[in-house]
Amino acid sequence: MRNQLRSARLAVLGTAVATVSLIGATAGVSGLAATAGAARAPHARAHKAGGSVSVWGEWSTTEQASFLAAVKPFEQSTGITVNYSSKGSNMDTAVEAAVAGGKPPDVAFVPDPGTLDTLASQGKLTPLAPVLGPLVKNYGPAWTKLASYHNKLYGVWYKAANKNTVWYNPALFKEAGISSTPTTWQQLLTDSATLQAAGVTPVSLCTDIGWPVADLWQNLYLKSAGAANYNALAAHKIPWTNPTVTRAFDLLGQLVGHPSYLLGGTQGSLANKYPNCVDKVFPKPGTMPQAAMVIEADFVVSEITGNSANYTAGTTGKGGKACTANPSQTPCYDFFPFPAPAGSAKNASALQGAGDVGMILNDTPQARAFLKYMATAKPAEIWARRGGLTSPNKTVPLSAYPDPVTRADAKELVDASGFVFSLDDLQGSWEPQLWQDMLNFVKTPTKANIASIERTMQSQANTAFAKAGKK
């Protein structure tokens, strides 16, 4: 996810503009002028840059199709072929191994700034400020800082995730008599009790290999302890045995300590993989929802809308009809911001997010041209209109998002003043251990287990940061 572009690219863009102008002019001219224009057009096309750029990312299936659609205009205007390869959830490991082996892709999109920092510290990346020029201003200070190492820009953020979201089935809330969404953590628990009393399981808890639970815990930590403590914990400046950590585990225990609030109870939750956990709330036609809420980032929208074109964003079904629980009729989906605990109102607007940052590993003209294109609004607009993408690029118009729900989601992400990056993604080598620790808490959410888990996490963090030379 990183760097590189220049005057060679400007020449390409100039050629593309000339080609378009020629075609437009030729359309309204006859005879000799049209013949001359037609003769000049192939000449202009011959000056396209051509060549190819190898790109790695974690996007597959539907997301891969959307990415390829987003880069199609770049290929058409420059003549550069984008050779994309999906590495799935092993993206970071794949890139670092490729760099170590001397055969990295030209451009890589990694899902955390930690990999960017590591590769930049090794001198493997191209500084981007000279390449991007004024496009650098397309991103807010928080995003620019996350794409920089020692105050030098090395990355371009493309696809972002707003993790400050709780997705709910409006029809099930209505069935339970809940007329408004919760604004505090305690209200969410109260609504869970109301849903349960109405015969609706409140939450389909995503657990997978632990990362969704980490996302949930990190939201609770951010909302209860604030952004300053969050960033300090992420940087290993305060210990995992700190009282603020204990407070977040206590809050999480208020939910997972009620197995009846969770679809399948504790054991069922521990087997709830992503995206199956989403399907339990927003199923395909032919099945009915089994729970009312799923707590995860805005990327769940791709799964929801992929399950059926019947789903409508918001609290009104297609054609203005009432939302139905039955996905074969007029089902709906919506979200509310992750609620802060009572007494933590000052942290209510703090937002946890994540994203994919592009960086250049092989400094070629094609790689520079490609990453410069990715810093514009165009590729984000294309994917956003297809659904399933939120962009941190400030120049992407809200009108690019297909409905009021995704527009609200995008605005929240771009406007966030207290933005923090997903903490587990900043932990380096011990991230998988952190995920397992979170699952261990879900399995036994007791105060005694909290103390044991915190000591384990502190030991794991000490070892990992010492090995990385960070502390």
**pLDDT category of residue 293 using cuts at 50, 70 and 90:** very high
pLDDT higher than threshold 80 for residue 452: yes
Strand partners, 317: none
pLDDT above 70 as % of the chain: 89
Per-residue burial over 398-422, b if 16 or more Cβ lie within 10 Å, else e, is eebbbeebbbbbbebbbebebbbbb
Domain boundaries, given as residue ranges, for the chain = 7-162+355-421, 165-347
Confidence class of residue 41 from pLDDT cuts 50, 70 and 90? very low
Domains 7-162+355-421 and 165-347 share a fold: yes
What was the pLDDT predicted at 256? 98
Whether omega for the bond prior to residue 285 falls within 30 degrees of 0, making it cis, is: no
- Rounded to an integer, the average pLDDT of 261-279 is 97
Residue 114: the pLDDT is 86
CATH 3.30.750.24 fits 7-162+355-421, yes or no: no
Which helix H or strand E contains 72, and what residues bound it? Answer: helix 61-78
What is the tens place of the pLDDT at every residue in 168-208?
999 999 999 999 999 999 999 999 999 999 999 999 999 99
Pairwise CA distance, residues 181 & 336, whole Å: 7
Q: Does 375 have pLDDT greater than 50?
A: yes
Q: Which pLDDT score is estimated for 47?
A: 66
- Give mean pLDDT, residues 343-356: 92
pLDDT the model gives residue 471: 55
3-state secondary structure of 325: coil
- Other CB atoms within 10 A of residue 153 CB: 22
For residue 1, pLDDT beyond 60:
no
Based on the number of CB atoms within 10 Å of its own CB, is 360 exposed (0-12), middle (13-18) or buried (19 or more)? Answer: buried
> Given this model, what pLDDT does residue 167 score?
98
- Residue given tokens 């199923």 in the structure block: 283
- Residue 57 CB contacts under 8 Å (≥ 6 apart), including other chains: 67, 84, 85, 86, 87, 91, 108, 109, 356
Q: Supply the pLDDT for residue 257.
A: 98
Residue 252 has pLDDT above 80, yes or no: yes
Cα separation, 137 vs 82, in Å, equals: 26
With 70 as the cut, is the pLDDT of residue 48 above it?
yes
The 3-state DSSP class for residue 108 equals strand
To which H or E segment does residue 162 belong? strand 156-162
What's the half-sphere exposure (Cβ side, CA atoms, 13 Å) at 404?
A: 9
- The answer to whether 364 and 379 have CB atoms below 8 angstroms apart is no
Question: Is a pLDDT exceeding 70 seen at residue 46?
Answer: no
Strands 351-360 and 293-295: unpaired
Please name the residues in contact with 438: beta carbons below 8 A apart, sequence gap of 6 or more.
Answer: 210, 213, 214, 217
Percent residues over pLDDT 90 in the chain: 79
Sign of CA dihedral 128, 130, 133, 136: positive
Residue 471 to residue 467: CA distance in whole angstroms: 8
Other Cβ atoms within 10 Å of 395 Cβ, number: 16
Domain 165-347 grouped into CATH 3.40.190.10: yes
> What is the pLDDT confidence band of residue 149, given thresholds at 50, 70 and 90?
very high
437 to 85, 297, 377, 410: CA distances (angstroms): 32, 21, 39, 31
Evaluate if residue 377 carries a pLDDT over 60.
yes
pLDDT tier at 428 (50, 70, 90 boundaries)? confident
Give the model's pLDDT for residue 10.
Answer: 27
User: Residue range 352-363: average pLDDT?
Assistant: 96
**Local confidence band at 360 (pLDDT 50, 70, 90 cut-offs):** very high
Contact predicate 403/309, CB 8 Å: no
Average pLDDT over residues 256-281: 97
Q: What is the pLDDT of residue 29?
A: 30
Residue 33 has pLDDT above 50, yes or no: no
Report the pLDDT value the prediction gives residue 412, as an integer from 0 to 100.
87
